[in-house]
Structure 1
Amino acid sequence: MKAEKGPFEMKKIVLVGAGARALQMYAKPFVEELGEYVDFCGVYDINPMRSKQLSEECVNVPVFFDFAQMLDTVRPDLVVVASTDHTHHTYIVGALESGCDVVSEKPMTIDEHKCREILEAEKRTGRSLTVAFNMRFMPYAARIKALLKEGAIGDIHHIALDWYLDRSHGADYFRRWHAELEKSGGLLVHKSTHHFDLVNWWLDSRPREVHAFGTRKFYGPTRQERGERCLTCGYKKILRVRLRYFAE
């Protein structure tokens, strides 16, 4: 049963994906902060154990083992897609064609063909798709937006954004599925999506022309191999000495 809360109407929402992003950015806020507006009705992930773990942390939201079955059973108003990037188009198109609106974690998808498939489905069904960019909610990004809107530095005529990945956060992308081009579209899709969005959002503008270039200086085929695992790496004794020195 739907209930109205002031100008808002409570919406039935289901979640696709049960990883860390799905849990922290969507599932927990649904039950801990947005309960009067959101009826969190189900979660689906290809890994059923992960879905069960998310459910246990979120008031035992129903777990489904089939995406289509979840849509047929719940009849949600909104489907949130937070699965791996290369699967986004499957769930987005399926949800739109089932009469649901969709919120998808960035990037919307990983290549041109999947993008066209999504846009055609949105036009054909008349339902809406919103792509979420979590970096907009980081305090420093929001503060920059506010300062620019206040005119703190006057009119903007040019902007250049350089972004360098360190060997801590940057290394994460090469330990998970993000390192596989067919799953992430590469970092110019998965990571740089944030940067194009931030510039557009900060300036409230859209580019006339876009180009990008990059290289791998540390990760990639030119990197010196030092062992697949720490236990088999010939440099582990040297690293232990250096770590002990820095710790002291």
Structure 2
Amino acid sequence: MLQVITRFPPEPNGILHIGHAKAINFNFGYAKAHNGICYLRYDDTNPEKEEEKFFVGIREMVEWLGYKPYKITHSSDYFQELYDLAVELIRRGHAYVCHQSSDELKGHNPPPSPWRERPMEESLALFEDMRKGKIGEGEATLRMKTTLEDGKMDPVAYRIKFTPHHRSLDKWCIYPTYDYTHCLCDSIENISHSLCTKEFQARRSSYYWLCNVLDVYCPVQWEYGRLNLNYTVVSKRKIGKLIANGIVR
């Protein structure tokens, strides 16, 4: 019988709230109920917004709720493997380097990329230039040739950020996105059940697509209802503003 392996994968960029407590209980509780294990994996792919106090606060909240992670990992543990898989994705014809700006890519109906059918060798060379810091921020992204369930085409897999990372320091100047990182980290860690809230349902097809086109192990994604409460704030961004303005501790 397959061992149940789950993970709680928060971004270390803010203070957790009661909605995260539900997610912690779902992931750790489901594993515990089935004699499985649960990882605490920090999704640390955006160095501009991550701070040490958030890493500490997340671990303390998990422990305060009575859970002990089987292992604490970071998405950044796998930066090299993720990069190697991105190169393979380009080689297989499923990704390309695009020069559309972030403003052009906003919304659900951006114009199709004129670089979608560029030769594989050209994308490989440009992706290597991105890694070496030869292309400026915002001048190129790596995009995947797939469509999300909500109709959004070719989600971004890598973007350029000349920001040192708290763990890898200045080794990397390209960082993977959630759409690219999440399913592959789940695959690398042999997660059996990827449990997430309903707003990620639109990414389920790309989750399965990416694992399958790379011929790597593919976990199952299950969604559950997001926790919404009246008369309180269930948003890291809004809670961050309340703390910054001295309204709450």
TM-score category (smaller protein): 0.3 to 0.5
Asked which structure has the greater CA Rg, the reply is 1
Question: TM-score, length-normalised on structure 1?
Answer: 0.35
- What TM-score, normalized to structure 2? 0.35
